[in-house]
Structure 1
Amino acid sequence: MTLTCKDLVTIHAEAWERATVHPFLTGCQRGTITAAQFNTWLVQDYLFVKDFTRMVGKMLGAAPDHHLDVLLAGLMALKDELLWFQAKAEERGLKLEAPRQSTCSHYCDFMAGLVLEPYPVQATALWAIEAAYNQGWQKPGPMPAPYTEFADRWGNPGFTDYVKLLATQADEVLTQASDHTQALASTTFLRIANLETAFWQMAFVA
């Protein structure tokens, strides 16, 4: 059996659609999202990105040598992203030392456990998480202020190119993986799609 990232999107099409087309994102595009809802997401996403950075760092130990350049570039971008989150929080008068919501905690715990999975599963997870943000912020179309810079950050062509590189790396190791590892990758992809949906929804229920 062969499996690629494109296959995973097809196999789990409904879950992926929910993860990348959500009322939170369409609300940003239409200007109907409230400041409180957006701020809830922003603070929790900062907490998420801190643990996501740790996940990517741990991947370096399992990655083949020729994958390191892309992973290290991603880590450098994440450093800038954390500083950017801090600047956005200061502009909005938000405290980033807030406790995690349960949805954020579940996602972070899931990422922490990925270090125990085979590298093809880790590579698939990294691509899926980044692809969900990339597509999620692109699909609604142009975003009005004050959400324009958020859409530009994750929906810009440079970030899309990075996601494509991650897909290429994941495809390379997936196609060489055992059926069992491919099955794990598929399950992981579906879990990420569901967690992404819950993360967007958290803004409405927190």
Structure 2
Amino acid sequence: MTLTCKQLLQNHAQAWHEATVHPFLEQCKLGTIQPQQFNTWLVQDYLFVVDFTRMVGRTLASAPPHHFDVILGGLTALKDELNWFKEKAAQRQLNLDTAKQPTCIEYCEYMQSLATMPYPVQASTFWAIEFAYNQGWQLPGVMPKPYIEFADRWGNRGFTEYVKLLEQQADEVLQTASATVQKQAEEAFLRVAKFEKDFWQMAFHAAQ
């Protein structure tokens, strides 16, 4: 049996819904999110993206050469994204040199553990994480300032097309993966979905 990214989404629709639809995002759309909630997300997400960049680098190291262009494009975008986070934090007078919260620690440790997994697992996890950002910020629709800038960063058409390329690469290698590796990819997808849900929860329940 061949596993695809679309099948993962269909087989685990509820888990994916919880990962990408959350009151945090809805309140950003309504403009009612509290500064402490949003600032908690921004700082912790920066710390997450630092480790996500390392994960993408390790994925590149495992990838076949014909996958390099897409992954290298992602790394270039991450360079810009990290600098953008620093700019947004400076505007809000936030300290990025802070401790990770437990949810962020667990997610980052999980990404580090993927280095020992077969490339199809790494590729499908890479896609799932990026798609979660894409859907999470795109699904609520147009947001008010200042949140529209954040929504557009991951919800724009170019990022959507990039995520589709990651999906194609993941599907390609999942086709020839063993049943064991496909099972590992499915387990990784579910882990990502739970981590994404928990990350929104972490920020939403930040102390007021």
Matched residue, 1:47: 47
Query: Does the CA-based 8 Å contact 2:123-2:166 persist in structure 1?
Result: yes
Give 2:118's aligned amino acid.
P
Alpha-carbon distance in structure 2 between the residues aligned to 1:198 and 1:159 = 23
2:120 corresponds to which residue?
Answer: 120
* Aligned equivalents of 2:69, 2:122: Cα separation in 1: 16
User: What are the equivalent positions in structure 2 for 1:69-84 lying under 5 Å apart?
Assistant: 69-84=69-84
Matched, 1:100 2:90: no
Structure 1 residues 107-134: Cα deviation after superposition (integer angstroms, max 9, x where no partner): 0000000010000000000000000000
Contact 2:27 2:33 in 1 (8 A): yes
**CA-to-aligned-CA distance 1:68-118 (integer Å, 9 cap, x gap):** 000000000000000000000000000001100000000000000001000
Contact 2:52 2:108 in 1 (8 A): yes
2:179 corresponds in structure 1 to 179
Q: Which runs of 5+ in 2 are unaligned?
A: none
1:24-35, aligned counterparts within 5 Å?
A: 24-35=24-35
Structure 1 counterpart of 2:154, one-letter code: W
Mapped partners of 1:17, 1:134: distance in 2? 13
Number of aligned positions between the proteins: 206
* Distance (whole Å) between structure 2 residues aligned to residue 201 and residue 110 of structure 1: 18
Matched, 1:151 2:151: yes
Deviation of residue 152 (structure 1)?
A: 0.5
Q: Deviations over 1:17-60 (max 9, x none)?
A: 00010111001001111011000000000000000000000112
Q: Deviations over 1:140-188 (max 9, x none)?
A: 0101001010001000000000000000000000011000000000000
In 1, the alpha carbon distance for the partners of 2:22 and 2:205 equals: 14
Q: Percent identity?
A: 65
What is the aligned-residue RMSD (CA, Å)? 0.5
